[in-house]
Chains A and B, each alone.
Chain A
Amino acid sequence: MRKFTLNKEQKTLTPTEDQIKRQKDFARLHHDYEKIVKRGKKPLYRDPKLFLLLLIIGLMFLLIFLES
């Protein structure tokens, strides 16, 4: 939550040109954006849930094969 306080120290509430320059970075923004949008999918073998599912299917096939 926000709490207003009186600016007793006369802190400047307008950024300087240097501060703006420091924060302005389109390359970083583009990189962050790409990371969010094109978030790499996990390879199948690194997904534990999918790995377990494939293992169960494999075991079922093995059982069916052994039964027959």
Chain B
Amino acid sequence: MSKKDQISKLSDSELVALAKKKSKYFGALYDRYFDQIFRFTFKRLGGNESVAGDLAQQTFIKAMANLQKYEYRGLPFSSWLYRIAQNEVSMFFRQQKKNYSVSIDEERLMDVAGEANINSYMSIEQQEQLVETLNKLEQSQQDLIELRFFQEMSFKEIAEIYDITEANAKMRTYRILEKIGKMWEEEE
């Protein structure tokens, strides 16, 4: 078995320990998680390949630079990477002087509508109106809605990213959905 194969079979915590000593071992963690972090940034940026690639690379550079501070606390290493990626994406949106357009699939939008107790059938105009409602939310609220509905993450995964409990993630999400429902009623 080659050394590369042996390294790739190590657990995350073993690899992190090795990478803390020698940065070249970080490569195995990069190989293991790049695809999913890139998929995450790609979707969050509405399919912009080059920016998503840059943000994914930036995520790993930050992870590499801060690896000494990383402590295993029972959460998967990927949660830490997602947290960094989430911050990178949020920072990117904040830095944009013009509005950065993020596409939402109709199906996913209907999931939001369903959970927010809005009509189960919506015309295109109503869908557009719901998108406008989402645009009125605060950025942190939009982030949560994006993770839950557009990234289709479980509450457990969201909780790991924000370092909160699963119940708290659920509660925050449902409060935002309630707010969306109220905003919708007011606009109707």
Name the segment of A28-36, A44-52, A57-65 touching the other chain. Answer: A28-36
Say if the beta carbon of A66 comes within 8 Å of chain B: no
Shortest Cβ gap from A39 to chain B (Å): 12
Interface size class on chain A is: 20 to 34
| Total A-B contacts with CB atoms under 8 angstroms apart | 105
Q: Which residues of A contact B131 (CB under 8 A)?
A: 4-6
Chain B interface residue count, CB cutoff 8 Å, equals 42
Scan residues 3-31 of chain A and give those whose CB is less than 8 A from a CB of chain B: 3-7, 11-15, 19-20, 22-26, 28-30
Given contacts A24-B38, A32-B57, contact A4 B43 (CB under 8 A): no
The verdict on A26 contacting B49 (CB below 8 Å), with A2-B96, A11-B103 known, is no
Q: Report the stretch among B59-67, B69-77, B178-186 that lies at the interface.
A: B59-67
B97 to chain A, nearest CB (A): 9
Beyond A6-B127, A20-B38, is A1–B99 a contact (Cβ under 8 Å)?
yes
CA distance A11 to B103 in the complex (A): 8
Q: Taking beta carbons and an 8 Å cutoff, which residues of B are in contact with A?
A: 23-24, 27, 30-31, 34-35, 38-39, 42-43, 46-47, 49, 52-53, 56-57, 60-61, 64-65, 93-94, 96, 99-106, 109, 124, 127-128, 131, 134-135, 139, 142
